[in-house]
Structure 1
Amino acid sequence: MAPQQPCVLVVEDENAQREVLKYNLEAEGFGVVLAENGDEALLLVREENPDLIVLDWMLPNVSGIEVCRRIKADPGTRAIPIVMLSARGDEGDRVRGLETGADDYVVKPYSVVELMARLRTQLRRTRPATMGERLIFDDIILDAGEHRVFRDGQPLHLGPTEFRLLSTLMEKPGRVWTREQLLDRVWGRDIYVDTRTIDVHVGRLRKALMTHGGTNPVRTVRGTGYALG
């Protein structure tokens, strides 16, 4: 199974704009979820837990600014990067968008190439493994680009599932992941896997990480899930 592709929630009320964004994002290898208005966006951000949000300012009913404010005010969603799209290019509008919580602000009409570059920049910050970055935690090095893992300088042999599991844990050391969250990130949103399966793969990952000795870095959080460190 290939690594789980990053999911982008596109919130845009104009159908033509939605389809252009969807086409270009999918061409870049992203999974795409579409919303036509602010209410739908607020529902989908909870249901889909996207890795990134592309948010139009001018939306019917609930504006993009208000959607941004609510997402960033919620501890469960505030870490999701938001790139705001708007025809409003004045300095005051940019400042308002960024002060509301947007991580980046792109003025319409925009360059698709530039927009994709900005999205990749946000994902390097929040999901570096999907961008081929090298991750380091204590004496563990995960090279996502070359698909290799080392501990204390020694190569480790991980199966594809254990590699994706480790990359998820290493992207946010210390974060406690529930089994459901790990299954969603490692296996994908459209595949049903029993949550007990995660325990089996965590066991395999721990065994692999301790091949050359050393302590077990994967911590069990009773009644919740797992964390690295």
Structure 2
Amino acid sequence: MVILIVNGDHDFRNIVRIILKPYGYDVVEAGSYREGFWRAVEFKPQIVLMDNIITSKSGIDLCRDIQAISGMQATEFLIFTDFDDELEKVVGISIMGVIKKPYIFPELRKLLPFSSIQEQAG
């Protein structure tokens, strides 16, 4: 399964990649809105993890742009946010969840199927 991480913080992307790789996820990274869009076109991820604001643009808009790519309608999105009302803005997006900062890593473990990927590999 391919996961795209879109976040402006290189260290954050690296930590998420380190956490996900041992569970069999193929992780692709992007540091900006534009790069995230083109990585989605190239790699067709099944899940996109992204910050709610990417290089001063809305992560929600990037979700919509990615879902409009041919073959990406079933892609699921997990958004990291500072705001309580972020779910109100995701109408029409195949949203897997919204994680309120700073609780990203404990919540990520709850939302992504870590054990099922590992069992499939074994």
TM interval, shorter chain, is: 0.7 to 0.9
Between the aligned partners of 1:71 and 1:29, the Cα distance in structure 2 is 23
Q: Does the 8 Å CA contact 2:6/2:50 hold for their aligned counterparts?
A: yes
Q: Is the 8 A contact 2:37 2:62 kept in 1?
A: yes
- From the superposition, tell whether residues 100 and 20 of structure 1 become closer, same or farther in structure 2 (CA, over 3 Å): farther
| Structure-2 residue corresponding to 1:22 | 17
Equivalent residue, structure 2, for 1:197? none
Q: Does 1:103 align with 2:96?
A: yes
After the TM superposition, which parts of structure 1 deviate over 3 Å for at least 4 consecutive aligned residues?
none
- How well do the aligned residues superpose, as a CA RMSD in angstroms? 2.4
Counterpart in the other structure of 2:35 = 40
Matched letter for residue 73 of structure 1 = A
Summarize the alignment of residues 142-153 of structure 1 with structure 2, pairs less than 5 Å apart: none
Q: Which residue of 2 aligns with 1:12?
A: 7
- In the alignment, the residues of structure 1 paired with residue 103 and residue 46 of structure 2 have an alpha-carbon distance, to the nearest angstrom, of 22
Q: Kindly report which structure 2 residues correspond to 1:75-224, keeping only aligned pairs within 5 A, or say none.
A: 75-88=70-83, 90=84, 92-96=85-89, 98-101=90-93, 102-120=95-113, 130=117
1:11–1:36 contact (8 Å) kept in structure 2: yes
One-letter amino acid of the counterpart of residue 94, structure 1 = L
Structure 1 unaligned residues grouped into runs of 5+: 1-5, 125-129, 133-143, 147-229
The aligned amino acid for 2:32 is: N
Is the 8 Å Cα contact of residues 22 and 32 (structure 1) preserved in structure 2? yes
**Given the alignment of the two structures, is residue 71 of structure 1 paired with residue 70 of structure 2, yes or no?**
no
Q: Assess if the C-alpha contact under 8 Å between 1:7 and 1:52 holds in 2.
A: yes
Percent identical among aligned pairs is 23
Question: Whose radius of gyration is greater, 1 or 2?
Answer: 1
Q: 1:52 is matched with which residue?
A: 47
Consecutive unaligned residues of structure 2, counting only runs of 5 or more, are none
Contact 1:37-1:61 at 8 Å conserved across structures: no
Q: For the structure 1 residues 34 and 131, does the alpha-carbon distance in structure 2 shift closer, same or farther, using more than 3 Å as the test? A: same
> Which protein has greater RCO, CA pairs closer than 8 Å, 6+ apart?
2
Aligned residue pair count: 120
Paired AA for residue 105 in structure 1: V
CA separation of 1:10 and 1:111: change in aligned 2, threshold 3 A: closer
Question: How far did 1:108 drift?
Answer: 0.9
TM-score, normalised with respect to structure 1? 0.47
8 Å CA contact retained: 1:83, 1:119: no
